[in-house]
Amino acid sequence: MAGRLIVVSNRIPTDSAPSGGLVVALHDALKARGGIWIGNSGKVTDSPAEGLTPIADEPYRRRSFDLTPAEHKGFYLDYANSTLWPLFHHRADLMTLDQDAARTYWEVNRKVARLIAAEAGPDDMIWVHDYHFLPLARALRLEGVENRVGFFLHIPFPNVSDVPALPENKYLPEWVAAYDLVGLQTVRDVSAAINVLRENGAEMLLKGRMKFRDRQFRLASFPIGIDVDDFAEAADAAGDADRTLRLDPGEKLVLGVDRLDYSKGIPNRFAAFGEFLRTGQPDEPRATLLQIAPPSREDVEAYRDIREELEEMAGRVNGEHAELDWTPIRYIRKNIPREILAGLYRRADAMLVTPLADGMNLVAKEYVAAQDGADPGVLILSHFAGAAEQLDAALMVNPYDIGDTSRAIRAALSMPEHERIARHLSLIAAIREHDIDWWTTTYLDALATAGTI
């Protein structure tokens, strides 16, 4: 019998109709191949259930594990989100270092490895997701698991010069080498990973393969995509955004949509929009920046600081430029349902995606998918988003350069129709070529043959 697919991710979808590109793609892959999805229940409890708890059995099995309060803190809040996340987003200055957290991170990985080892049959393929589980394959090997195990990192790979800031950096090569296939978002991430691994004793072989001690593994980029038609249809079906937003006819809308995170470059964006207003010409139409950024990870200190900084900046720009009937920056901290989001993407004349570091950035791809091809808006995209490797027909900006970003906003809002259409055609072709089906299929085919070619 062909083996099943076992997917492991930090969180697991808990309802029967999952939403969100990644979750839906994995859901489809498991439905087609049969298998099991294992993740954290989100439950933090002093008395966690022993073993895996069944959530559902159809159309594939979903199983969860609980964390104790100490595990949730050490594994998730501290090590994953306060040590690894900043390091991997090139912000070593924001890392908190704590030996207890590092130990708990490894212990949770060992605990999850034991649960998987008890569940996996000899022919099952295991696909592990993201930085919460970097050492999971190493922990699985210690349990005697010899199955094919693949990893996909959704965030950037850290720079070789930053890695020594991680006290556990000496373990990185053995963590990575325990996988058969390591998938990264971009070619840039693959180069960074090769540099880091070579610096730490791994050897480069042919065809993206590397060797560390007795293990060989492959590194490659698999840029994640979206379900393009699904987003286009949602934008078609969305209501009149002008009415929802009470915009004046002819008023330009510039949009930002992010999880509130210091990696997303939202302060730089507010500063650039302020500069755009300061340098405005009297004959220009009025433009409003709508920024949607619901808070995330509020238990982590660096996330509280960014929230305060943004509120202050929006207040300052609005104080300088607001009129009785116009607030230049509208900053919304609520999560917006996907149907409404799709309508806002469609209405926006320009979209600001300006991260300082980002694995891919799916918002950029969703914006392209939601446009009306006859009258598309303009994507303004940071060089530092993984998406920049594919979406080079966007208006590319250096988000650190406030003047550059401000000029890009002006260029986007005055771009002639023929240029908007030409850029859009190129962008839509790029997101169709590497959509979410391509991602799952290509990755799983590569994992199935890892080590044989």
Contact criterion met (CB below 8 Å) for 360 and 316: no
Residue 237 CB, nearest distance to ligand ADQ (Å)? 16
Residue 373 CB, nearest distance to ligand ADQ (Å)? 21
Q: Which residue of 94, 112, 163, 292 would you call a contact of ligand ADQ, by CB under 6 A?
A: 292
Q: How far apart are CA 72 and CA 390, in angstroms?
A: 36
Contact criterion met (CB below 8 Å) for 291 and 387: no
Closest CB to ligand ADQ among residues 174, 227 = 227
What does the per-residue mask of binding to ligand ADQ show for 136-155, with x meaning CB under 6 A? ------------------xx
Residue 87 CB, nearest distance to ligand ADQ (Å)? 14
Residue 193 CB, nearest distance to ligand ADQ (Å)? 16
Q: How far apart are CA 152 and CA 134, in angstroms?
A: 9
Closest CB to ligand ADQ among residues 120, 360 = 360
Q: How far apart are CA 191 and CA 447, in angstroms?
A: 20
Contact criterion met (CB below 8 Å) for 225 and 430: no
Residue 323 CB, nearest distance to ligand ADQ (Å)? 27
Radius of gyration over every alpha carbon of the chain, rounded to an integer in angstroms: 23
Q: How far apart are CA 3 and CA 12, in angstroms?
A: 21
Contacts of 295 (CB under 8 A, 6+ apart): 260, 303, 307, 333
What does the per-residue mask of binding to ligand ADQ show for 25-64, with x meaning CB under 6 A? ----------------------------------------
Contact criterion met (CB below 8 Å) for 156 and 386: yes
424 in active site: no
Q: Which stretch binds ligand ADQ (CB under 6 A): 169-177, 289-297, 316-324, 368-376?
A: 289-297
| DSSP state for residue 225 in the 8-state scheme | -
Closest CB to ligand ADQ among residues 180, 358 = 358
Residues 157-176 that bind ligand ADQ (CB under 6 A): none
Q: What are phi and psi of 415, to 5 degrees?
A: -70, 130
Taking Cα atoms as reference points, which of 166, 169, 170, 107 lies closest to residue 139? 107
Residue 231 CB, nearest distance to ligand ADQ (Å)? 9
Closest CB to ligand ADQ among residues 224, 431 = 224
Closest CB to ligand ADQ among residues 363, 430 = 363
Instruction: Read off the amino acid at residue 404.
Output: D
15 in active site: no
Residues 326-355 that bind ligand ADQ (CB under 6 A): 335-336, 341
The pairing of strands 209-212 and 215-221 is antiparallel
Q: Which residue of 7, 8, 22, 393 would you call a contact of ligand ADQ, by CB under 6 A?
A: 22
Options 72, 90, 132, 154, the catalytic residue: 154
Q: Which residue of 293, 300, 314, 413 would you call a contact of ligand ADQ, by CB under 6 A?
A: 293
Residue 182 CB, nearest distance to ligand ADQ (Å)? 15
Taking Cα atoms as reference points, which of 135, 73, 75, 68 lies closest to residue 104? 75
Give the H or E element holding residue 183.
strand 181-184
Contact criterion met (CB below 8 Å) for 277 and 317: yes
What does the per-residue mask of binding to ligand ADQ show for 352-371, with x meaning CB under 6 A? ------xxxxxx--x-----
Q: How far apart are CA 267 and CA 312, in angstroms?
A: 10
Closest CB to ligand ADQ among residues 139, 224 = 224
CB-based burial label for 170 (10 Å; 0-12, 13-18, 19+):
exposed
Both tokens assigned to 449? 């043959």
> Considering CB under 6 A, how many residues would be counted as binding ligand ADQ?
23
Closest CB to ligand ADQ among residues 261, 349 = 261
Helix (H, G, I), strand (E, B) or coil at 249: coil
Q: Which stretch binds ligand ADQ (CB under 6 A): 14-22, 26-34, 191-199, 237-245?
A: 14-22
Closest CB to ligand ADQ among residues 117, 220 = 220
Residues 375-434 that bind ligand ADQ (CB under 6 A): 386
Q: How far apart are CA 329 and CA 74, in angstroms?
A: 37
258-274 burial string, b = 16+ CB within 10 Å, else e? bebbbbbbbbbbbbbbb
Helix (H, G, I), strand (E, B) or coil at 63: strand
Residues 245-274 that bind ligand ADQ (CB under 6 A): 257-259
Q: Which residue of 121, 285, 294, 403 would you call a contact of ligand ADQ, by CB under 6 A?
A: 294
Closest CB to ligand ADQ among residues 15, 46 = 15
Options 89, 358, 424, 435, the catalytic residue: 358
Contact footprint for ligand ADQ (CB under 6 A):
20-22, 154-155, 224, 257-259, 292-294, 335-336, 341, 358-363, 366, 386
Catalytic residues: 154, 358
